[in-house]
Amino acid sequence: MVLSKQLMVTHDARLTKLKIMPKCQKTKLSYHLKMYDRQKERNVTRKFCFSGVAAISFSLNYFDNPVGAEVCGFYEIFDRQAKEELLEQNFAARKQGFLQHGNYAYDPLEQSDLLNERTMFERALAKLDGYRLFEQQTTGGIYRILAKKWEVR
């Protein structure tokens, strides 16, 4: 079983610009990568655009350490469990942030508690097969985007 596929080689890629345009289910994300193009034998800049974004995850490493960049690419991950985990991580982070910064009498057993509300999560989960999970490896980190569509310019 194939768990992922490299969609584009992005040697020595550096993320130079990131833009997130939140709009509920119509959220868009774009980023620019500066990378080495082996065919042209020079650095080029490409813009990656995503629409219908449901979740985003970043693992940044700006300590002058390119470990992980040798993977050299932009990938699609086909594992449904990886998609579910990304959605669940975002849901849990929302709850954790709220509890960490507020004085809130949270009841984890109370279904009607605002922080236990999972309607939007369950809706996204029901439509998960319509989303694609992408991973961009760069010298500065790893970016995961769960979105309906993507294109490169």
Beta bridge partners of 36: 11, 43
* Phi, psi of 44, rounded to the nearest 5 degrees: -135, 160
Is-above-0.85 flag for pTM? yes
pLDDT tens-place string over residues 53-94 = 999 998 877 655 555 555 578 999 999 999 999 999 988 998
Strand order in the sheet with 149-152: 11-21, 28-37, 42-51, 149-152
- Mean pLDDT, rounded, for 122-142: 91
Instruction: Report angle CA 117, 20, 35 to the nearest 5 degrees.
Output: 130
**Residue 145 confidence (pLDDT):** 97
Percentage of residues of the chain with pLDDT beyond 70: 92
Determine the average pLDDT of the residues in 100-107. 85
pLDDT the model gives residue 71: 58
Residue in this structure with the two tokens 């470990």, named with its chain if needed: 67
Using only the alpha carbons of the chain, give its radius of gyration.
Answer: 18
> Mean pLDDT across the chain, nearest whole number?
88
